[in-house]
Amino acid sequence: MDHFVNHHPLHGPFPQGLEQIVLGMGCFWGAERRFWRLGEGVFVTAVGYAGGATENPSYEQVCSGRTGHAEVVLVAFDPALISCETLLRTFWESHDPTQGDRQGNDIGTQYRSVIFCSSDEQLRLAEASRRAYGAALAAKGLGPITTQIAPAPPFYYAEDYHQQYLAKNPDGYCGLGGTGVACPTGLGAEPA
């Protein structure tokens, strides 16, 4: 199956030199659109489930809250064309990472905020970005970040009809909303 927008293959193996990161920020339809719209450097996006115990879960199982999975977006990107910092900035600014197991009216563990990293460098950048954005949020009177940051667990692709849903259904639901707080630049500039 190919990506509905850019026609690249949804499933790997992806071309050599690409990195992958898995991000969860509420309903995955709008989250995926935020990343494919970044354009050059984003090879492919795909929605799926990660962070839980059930193998190959269905959407209905994930929505039951019994799998432990979050709705997530896999982003395969070329770090020579788009930085992990840019992806992280988009992540932080596109949702409210202080809400725990919800995003707006979407409530449940599947809507929690997560960053699942595929390398130690991504983990370092994610932690540095959390500290920087946490300080920016606190300065505006918002609560602490609840985002889970961890090495990438298995990623399970969502059903075909969920892939690039908002490109196929332009008037479809998107409950994403950020805090209005800008993420500081130079997120990963802190020493390791």
Mean pLDDT of the chain: 94
- pLDDT, residue 177, reads 86
Catalytic residue, chosen from 27, 84, 117, 183, is 27
Instruction: Say what the pLDDT of residue 189 is.
Output: 45
φ/ψ of residue 2, rounded to 5: -105, 160
**Res. 1 pLDDT band, cuts 50 70 90:** very high
Query: Per-residue pLDDT tens for 59-89?
Result: 999 999 999 999 999 999 999 999 999 999 9
pTM for this structure?
A: 0.95
**Whether 117 is catalytic:** no
Q: How far is CA 56 from CA 78, 136, 185, in A?
A: 27, 37, 37
pLDDT at 187 (0 to 100):
56
> Which pLDDT score is estimated for 104?
86
Domains (range + CATH), the chain: 19-168 (3.30.1060.10)
Predicted confidence band of residue 185 (pLDDT cuts 50, 70, 90)? low
Of the pLDDT bands very low, low, confident and very high (cuts 50, 70, 90), residue 184 is confident
Half-sphere CA count of 35, side-chain side, radius 13 A: 34
19-25/70-77 β-pairing: antiparallel
